[in-house]
Amino acid sequence: MFDEPGYPGNSDLDDAELTLQTFVYCSRAAEGVDDTEVRRIVASAQRRNLARGITGMLVFDSGVFFQWIEGPPAQIQSLIASLHGDPRHHDVVALDRSEEKRERLYPNWQMEQIEAEDIREVLQDALVTTEDDNNIAALKRILECLASGPIDALGRS
């Protein structure tokens, strides 16, 4: 489980030259999943992600999730399988999935919960600070998804 090269202490995320897999999706929360349950999901995700070299962000608004995860391909694949089987949400729609050598966008976020109205700002800030061409391309794809995709309604309840 921890045999990915470059993850010796599980907290060493200085992995500029490692292949990262990114998965971005949106989904609908199951009946009864409220802010309290989402806080639980995030707290547990932070612990699990730290141990697996996964970083990312989660938005929850109006019963809709939007999540960005990145990390070692094997760990991300395993998390994707878990996410698909998790009864706390359904209608998981993949928005972006890529695998490339690049720096992490959010190296210190084991799983940061972001307010829906802040998501564009967060992505645009990352676009300004990153110098990695692959990151720039990925961020532009996500911003395009936000403008035209199924999560366009986020934050406009």
Ligand X SMILES: Cc1cc2nc3c(=O)[nH]c(=O)nc-3n(C[C@H](O)[C@H](O)[C@H](O)COP(=O)(O)O)c2cc1C
Number of residues assigned to the chain? 157
- Comparing C-alpha atoms, which of 72, 65, 62 is closest to residue 12? 72
Stretch that binds ligand X, among 13-21, 80-88, 97-105, 117-125 (CB under 6 A): 80-88
Question: Which residues in 86-145 contact ligand X (CB under 6 A)?
Answer: 86, 88-89, 111
Q: Is 49 in the site for ligand X (CB under 6 A)?
A: yes
Q: Is 79 in the site for ligand X (CB under 6 A)?
A: yes
Q: Is 82 in the site for ligand X (CB under 6 A)?
A: yes
User: What is the C-alpha separation between 70 and 134, in angstroms, rounded?
Assistant: 13
Q: Are strands 55-61 and 112-114 parallel, antiparallel or unpaired?
A: parallel
For the bound state, the minimum distance from the C-beta of residue 140 to ligand X, rounded and expressed in Å, comes to: 23
Stretch that binds ligand X, among 12-20, 77-85, 97-105, 133-141 (CB under 6 A): 77-85
For the bound state, the minimum distance from the C-beta of residue 82 to ligand X, rounded and expressed in Å, comes to: 3
Q: Is 45 in the site for ligand X (CB under 6 A)?
A: yes
User: What is the C-alpha separation between 61 and 29, in angstroms, rounded?
Assistant: 9
List Cβ neighbours of 61 (8 Å cut-off, separation of 6 or more).
Answer: 115, 116, 154, 155, 157
Q: Is 14 in the site for ligand X (CB under 6 A)?
A: no
For the bound state, the minimum distance from the C-beta of residue 53 to ligand X, rounded and expressed in Å, comes to: 12
Angstrom CA distances, 111 to 2, 40, 42, 126, 149, stand at 19, 12, 6, 16, 23
Q: Is 28 in the site for ligand X (CB under 6 A)?
A: no
Which of the 8 DSSP states describes residue 120? H
Strand partners, 112: 57
Stretch that binds ligand X, among 10-18, 79-87, 113-121, 139-147 (CB under 6 A): 79-87
Residues that bind ligand X (CB under 6 A): 41, 45, 48-49, 58, 65, 67, 69, 79, 82-83, 86, 88-89, 111
